[in-house]
Amino acid sequence: MLNSKSFSSVVHELENNDEEFVTTIDRVISFAVNIIRNTEELREEIRDYNDLYQILLTDINFNFWLKVSNGSIIYKKGINRSATFRVTYAKDIFIKILKRDIAGTDAYMKGQIKVDGNLSDGLRFIKIFRLFIKYIENIM
C-alpha cells in the first residue's frame, strides 16, 4: 500500500506523459469508484447525494463525470451535459491538488479552477473529492 508521499511520487512520474497520465488516472478513478460501491461505510458517506459532477481537464482533453445518488456512484469518461456541477482544471493544477501542493479551494480562489454550479453542490463535490483522495491513498 502506498502512503500519501508515495501517491504523490506516482503522480509526479506521470506529469510529463499525458497519455500515461490519462490512462492511470482513469484506472485509479475506476478502482476508487468500485471501492466506494462495495464498501457500506463509504456508501453511507454519499447516501444523501443526488448530483452529477462533470470534471474537465481541458489541456489534455480528459473529461469525465460522476453520478452520485442515494449511496451509489457511476463513473464515465466524456461529457454529460446534464451535470449539475462542473469543474474545469488544467492538468498542472489537477496534479498540484492531487499532490496536495495546493488545495482545490485555494486554486479556485486564485482563479486557477473554473466552477459552474451552486455552493451546496460545490461543498458536496469537495467532500467526494477528498473521499476519493483519502481512499486512493489507502488502497494504493
Per-residue pLDDT of the chain (140 residues; tens, 9 = 90+): 444 456 666 666 777 788 888 988 898 889 888 888 888 888 888 888 999 999 999 999 899 999 999 888 999 999 999 999 999 999 999 988 888 889 888 999 999 999 999 988 888 888 887 777 776 666 55
- What is the model's pLDDT at position 36? 84
CB 68 within 8 A of CB 128: yes
DSSP 8-state symbol, 56:
E
- At position 26, the amino acid (one-letter code) is D
| Residue 73: all three cell numbers together | 456512484
| Residue 21: all three cell numbers together | 497520465
Query: Cell 456508501 maps to which residue?
Result: 43
- Residue 2 in 3-state DSSP? coil
- Give the domain extent around 39: 4-139
Total domains, the chain: 1
Q: Per DSSP, what are the bridge partners of residue 69?
A: 50, 72
- What is the model's pLDDT at position 3? 46
Q: Per DSSP, what are the bridge partners of residue 65?
A: 54, 76
CATH for 126: 3.30.1050.10
